[in-house]
């Protein structure tokens, strides 16, 4: 989200306060997802809970891509925020249920945390490098010429 804040402010004419709310709403809504995940999982089983979570995440992501104004983008981040914690609560439970007893403790948490941190790093580090290189060559803060790197090892997509 940090790499898109400048674009959101520019394209949607959002204030600093609005962009901070937009960034924080995901974490605030994650509480709702964590409170509802166990109950839904108990009702419909872990496997179907993950399927429901995947569908909700897909719908939220597609709606965010069509966010025409701040209110639309905020409501879509709300939906996605609920689902982020929802799936993060159920996936380790499901992986321990389907794994052998000897590997249950390992599969419950460390791979999830490692993958989350690698995902954050794979987006944040290249964005920061691009922003600092742009700022040092032009003398101005990052603008539209910032490139997005899905993975640090792949070439930039313009």
pLDDT value at residue 156: 41
pLDDT value at residue 30: 83
Could you list the beta-strand ranges (E) of the chain: none
pLDDT value at residue 136: 54
Q: What is the largest CA-CA distance in the chain?
A: 57
The tokens for 99 are 């794994």
Interacting residues of 43 by C-beta distance below 8 A, sequence separation 6+: none
Cα atoms in the Cβ-side hemisphere of radius 13 Å centred on 114: 6
pLDDT value at residue 149: 41
**Contact (CB, 8 A) for 29 and 81:** yes
- Which of the residues in the chain have pLDDT under 50? 140, 142-158
Provide the residue ranges of all domains of the chain, joining segments of one domain with +: 5-88
Strand partners, 157: 148
- Using CA atoms, how far apart are residues 97 and 131, in angstroms rounded to an integer? 43
């Amino acid at each position: 989200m940090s790499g898109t804040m400048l674009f959101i402010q520019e394209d949607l004419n959002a204030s600093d306060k609005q962009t901070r709310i937009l960034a924080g709403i995901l974490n605030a809504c994650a509480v709702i997802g964590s409170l509802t995940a166990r109950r839904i999982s108990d009702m419909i089983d872990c496997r179907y809970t993950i399927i429901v979570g995947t569908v909700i995440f897909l719908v939220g992501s597609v709606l965010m891509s069509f966010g025409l104004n701040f209110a639309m983008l905020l409501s879509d981040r709300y939906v996605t925020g609920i689902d982020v914690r929802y799936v993060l609560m159920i996936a380790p439970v499901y992986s321990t249920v389907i794994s052998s007893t000897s590997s249950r403790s390992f599969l419950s948490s460390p791979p999830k945390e490692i993958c989350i941190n690698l995902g954050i790093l794979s987006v944040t580090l290249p964005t920061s490098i691009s922003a600092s290189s742009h700022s040092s060559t032009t003398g101005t803060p990052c603008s539209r010429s910032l490139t997005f790197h899905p993975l640090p090892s792949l070439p930039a997509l313009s």
